[in-house]
């Protein structure tokens, strides 16, 4: 099993901590002039998203995590699992459970490409692109003439997600560009 020593730690490196795969966010070298050296490491637990801070003695090693991020096309949901297919012409498919898909459920559209994080070949997280385009399925009727300023309203999208900050002129059936990081309306793509 591969291991990494503290002096190899870099942000983005995937390691095992307390049985869970983690992504290193920050690694700070700390050393009193006449004392031992430490590495204070911030990492995100990829299973639950929590950020941990741990201090290691410099030179200590921890196990590497077999974690890779892979671009995959979303295929369908069978009621329990969300199915994705690799885009490398292998047609290899994986089934991700609710814990892995989590909030990405709000942004899943068939045939779009998502980043699937695989740990020992099992999907543990699905990350949407920063922007997705989704159709409005429910919103208050559009107000004619209101194209620029004025108030906003919520709208429900084809995925079932409700977003805020939608201009009043938007109608059911319009396709909206949404920022998945904030869950906010960006623009109207087509009516």
Among 3, 30, 63, 92, binds other proteins (CB under 8 A): 30
Among 3, 8, 11, 31, binds other proteins (CB under 8 A): 31
> 188 with 163: CB under 8 angstroms?
no
> 101 with 116: CB under 8 angstroms?
no
Is 5 a binder of other proteins (CB under 8 A)? Answer: no
| Residue 126 neighbours by CB under 8 Å, 6+ apart | 82, 84, 96, 100, 101, 102, 104, 108, 114, 115, 116, 117
Where does this chain touch other proteins (CB under 8 A) — which range of 34-42, 71-79, 92-100, 122-130? 34-42
CB of 80 to other proteins, least distance (A): 47
Among 17, 38, 73, 85, binds other proteins (CB under 8 A): 38
DSSP string, 107-155: G--TT-EEEEEEETTEEEEEE--SEEEEEEEEESPPPTT-SSSS-EEEE
Is 58 a binder of other proteins (CB under 8 A)? Answer: yes
CB of 41 to other proteins, least distance (A): 12
Is 57 a binder of other proteins (CB under 8 A)? Answer: yes
Instruction: Kindly tell me which of 9 and 114 has the beta carbon lying closer to other proteins.
Output: 9
Number of other residues whose CB lies within 10 A of the CB of residue 132:
22
Instruction: Kindly tell me which of 11 and 36 has the beta carbon lying closer to other proteins.
Output: 36
Instruction: Kindly tell me which of 33 and 151 has the beta carbon lying closer to other proteins.
Output: 33
CB of 8 to other proteins, least distance (A): 12
Is 32 a binder of other proteins (CB under 8 A)? Answer: yes
DSSP string, 40-103: EEEEEETTT--EEEEEEETT-EEEBP-EEEEEEEEEEE-SS-EEEEESSSS--EEEE-HHHHGG
Is 37 a binder of other proteins (CB under 8 A)? Answer: yes
How many residues line the site for other proteins (CB under 8 A)? 15
Binding site for other proteins (CB under 8 A): 7, 28-38, 55, 57-58
């Amino acid at each position: 099993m591969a291991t990494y020593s503290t002096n190899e730690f870099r942000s983005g490196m995937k390691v095992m901590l307390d049985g869970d795969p983690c992504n290193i966010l920050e690694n700070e070298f700390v050393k009193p002039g006449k004392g031992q050296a430490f590495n204070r490491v911030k990492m995100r637990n990829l299973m639950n998203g929590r950020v941990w801070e741990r201090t290691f003695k410099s030179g200590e090693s921890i196990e590497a995590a077999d974690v890779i991020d892979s671009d995959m096309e979303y295929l369908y949901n069978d009621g329990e699992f969300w199915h994705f297919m690799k885009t490398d012409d292998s047609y290899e498919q994986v089934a991700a459970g609710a814990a892995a898909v989590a909030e990405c459920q709000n942004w899943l559209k068939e045939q779009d490409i998502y980043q699937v994080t695989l740990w020992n070949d099992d999907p543990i997280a699905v990350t949407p692109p920063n922007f997705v385009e989704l159709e409005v399925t429910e919103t208050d009727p559009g107000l004619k003439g209101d194209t620029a300023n004025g108030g906003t309203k919520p709208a429900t999208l084809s995925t079932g997600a409700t977003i805020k900050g939608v201009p009043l002129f938007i109608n059911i059936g319009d396709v909206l560009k949404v920022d998945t990081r904030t869950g906010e309306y960006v623009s109207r793509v087509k009516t």
